[in-house]
A and B are shown apart, each in its own frame.
Chain A
Amino acid sequence: MRIALALVAVLLIIGASLALVWRPAIETIDPPARQSFDPELVKRGRQLAAIGNCTDCHTVRGGEQLAGGMPVRTPFGTVYSTNITPDPETGIGHWSEAAFRRAMNSGVDRAGQHLYPTFPYDHFTHVTNQDDGALYAYLMTRRPVHAPARQNQLSFPFDQRPLIAAWKLLYLRHDEVRPDSSKNSEWNRGAYLVEGLAHCGACHTPRNAFGAERKEAAFGGGEADNWLAYAINVQSPAPVPWTEQALFTYLRRGWHPDHGVARGPMAQVVSNLSPVDADDVRAIATYVAGLFGSPASDRIRSAEAVRTEANKAPTAAPQTSASIFAPNAVSPATNTGAAIYAAACASCHETSRPLPYAGLNLHLSTAISAPDPRNAANTILYGLPALDDERSPIMPGFAPSMTDAQVGALLIYLRAHFGHEPAWSKVEQTVAQARQAQAAFLQTSADPPNIATEPLPRDKP
């Protein structure tokens, strides 16, 4: 009798875990013809895909659009993005719309396998079926690319996909985003986009030990690819508080005179938003402005002070050669930093030329008032690369010409002179890490075809 009871209990547990973990495969379909999709739907899907920033993760540097392969480094190992072109063998060509929808709202692929939450289905679950349909139409009409998925490099036990089912039980919520009738339609549209498809929190919200967003600290600042994703709530480190109009301008043009230029992963986000209708960008700005909240009066006062300081005519009279080449012993780092700033930075960052073709006055810089110097270090080392085929702000990078000690000294000076917060710690260490992160990033490109350069005939005997 006892044995029978124990057996029943064991079977129940197995059954319950199976029910939790097991998901059926959804039948394959023949890749639908492009013509079978309504062009209007495809067009809408294109805008939605831009809001969802799909290409950013699903395209490896120098690789084919949406063909996957980009490594995403997590504390648990490296996960590679997958091919979401309609290639039948290696992409999603055999996926029905139902299979696509299931992946979006519960993170399960067509074959029934749980997907890692690096794919942000904790946000995508809020996307409507209608919008999923448009995204599906857009993706299924892209050019199919044959590109097999790369093997994830995860340590045990994180390489066990059934574990993801437990993660979902803890952290995947389907019904969080509901319309708020006390707010206007613009705010509600913004909430739908920001919490859902745009998945802003994926970078701007800190994560817990299991890699899930900490809802109690929503939008309190996170990270992406060794860049700080600043807090976009009341904890925002921006010297001048963000307004709805400033956010709209920034998301449309990629820069704002009070805040500077989007760079790092945010540059890609802004660039992807460019084909999106102004109404949707406005809605995002409205909702995010609400996240920042209205600034307290002391914040408004300090912002005024910062603006006044920044608008002063350039005063940084170049120091005399003697003091620069022989920094005094009292505070060598600050002195060296001041000398470097005066010689290498001030000519662009303290000029009467307006943004974006001059540098931001660093009194206004969020990077300088941020909790750590990562973004400032990244910018000094790698600058702002010019964009292909369009006018864009530029800044040369100083990685090859400055040592870690020089960049460190510059950062210490910038924080002391332009910031209003206490000094950063571990500055030189941050610089070294920034160099490592960049080196790792440069190794992430697809291996492109080696174009043969035949020697000229006269080379041969």
Chain B
Amino acid sequence: MMILKVNGRDHQIEAEPDTPLLYVLRDDIKLNAAKYGCGLGQCGACTVMVDGKAVLSCVTPLVLLVGKQITTLEGLGTVDRPAPIQRAFMEEQAAQCGYCIPGMMMRAQALLQRNSKPTDQQIRSALAPHLCRCGTHMRILRAVHRAARMMREAGNSTAGHGSPS
């Protein structure tokens, strides 16, 4: 048994130490945002954040996660109160089938937490590990820029600096 810290809460997990994080999130904790895509760490659909870094949960066994903070898309915002990255994706209508999008949002969130104003190229290379066969790539790019803007504005207003540029 181990304690897994997910979205700020401790969960008691009964599972073998080689169990991939993705299985525990979906099957035990019932957090279904992270998706099973390839199971080989090659498509990005299962991406979550571990200690602020984007991690492929399908190839991350529990044994690596002792004492680490896991954040899933559910931990960023809710349907009623979506986080900037979620609002931005909705406003840009950046999902087509949507299966890859939670993973994309998590990687984008990790990027924006360390770089509040990424260039197109930085976003493209950050999201390169994510496979998407639909047609919304340009919308995804815009959504990440929009989220960056919203997060900067929110940061500015809470910090008490005047109007956003």
Contacts and interface: CB of A to CB of B under 8 A. Distances in A.
Nearest to A448: B121
A324 B17 CA distance: 7
A102 B37 CA distance: 55
A396 B16 contact: no
B11 to A, nearest CB: 15
Given A318-B18, A447-B121, A343 B54 contact: no
Contacts of B66: 325
A250 to B, nearest CB: 24
Given A339-B17, A401-B64, A325 B54 contact: no
A319 B18 CA distance: 10
Interface SS of chain A: loop
Contacts of B55: 400-401
Interface in A278-292: none
A322 to B, nearest CB: 9
A386 interface: yes
A386 B50 CA distance: 23
A324 B66 CA distance: 11
Nearest to A450: B120
Contacts, number: 76
A394 interface: yes
Interface in A391-412: 394, 396, 398, 400-402, 406
Interface string A331-365: 00000000110111011000000000000000000
A321 B56 CA distance: 22
Contacts of A343: 17-18, 61-64
A369 to B, nearest CB: 26
Contacts of A344: 18, 59-61, 63-64
B1 interface: yes
A455 interface: yes
Interface string A1-26: 00000000000000000000000000
Contacts of A33: none
Interface of B is mostly: mixed
22 contacts: A318-B18, A319-B17, A321-B16, A324-B17, A325-B63, A339-B17, A340-B63, A340-B64, A342-B17, A343-B17, A344-B63, A346-B18, A394-B42, A396-B59, A400-B50, A400-B53, A401-B50, A401-B64, A450-B119, A450-B120, A452-B120, A456-B92
Contacts of B54: 400
Interface stretch (B24-32, B76-84, B137-145, B155-163): B137-145
B111 to A, nearest CB: 12
A14 B133 CA distance: 68
Interface string A448-460: 1011110110000
Interface in A418-461: 445, 447-448, 450-453, 455-456
B42 A386 contact: yes
A450 B40 CA distance: 32
B57 to A, nearest CB: 9
> Counting chain B CB atoms within 10 Å of each CB, which of A347, A401, A448 scores highest?
A401
B121 A401 contact: no
B149 to A, nearest CB: 10
Contact of A339 (B15, B40, B63, B119): B63
A389 to B, nearest CB: 14
A451 B119 CA distance: 9
B64 A402 contact: yes
Given A396-B40, A401-B60, A453 B17 contact: no
A432 to B, nearest CB: 16
Contact of B121 (A325, A406, A450): A450
Contacts of A383: 41
Interface in A116-155: none
A400 B141 CA distance: 23
Interface string B119-157: 111000100000000000010011001000000000000
B2 interface: yes
B67 to A, nearest CB: 10
Contacts of A398: 64
A312 to B, nearest CB: 20
Q: Which of A324, A447, A453 has the most CB of B within 10 A?
A: A453
A383 B2 CA distance: 28
A401 B58 CA distance: 11
A318 B62 CA distance: 13
Given A396-B41, A400-B54, A406 B120 contact: no
Contacts of B142: 453, 455-456
Contact of B120 (A321, A401, A451): A451
A-B pairs with lowest CB-CB distance, top 3:
A396-B41, A343-B18, A343-B61
Contacts of B53: 400-401
A445 to B, nearest CB: 8
Contacts of B40: 394, 396
A309 B66 CA distance: 32
Contacts of A346: 18
B42 A325 contact: no
Contacts of A339: 17, 63
Contacts of A347: 18
A420 B120 CA distance: 48
A450 B50 CA distance: 30
A453 B141 contact: yes
A449 B10 CA distance: 45
A396 B42 contact: yes
B16 to A, nearest CB: 6
Contacts of B59: 344, 396
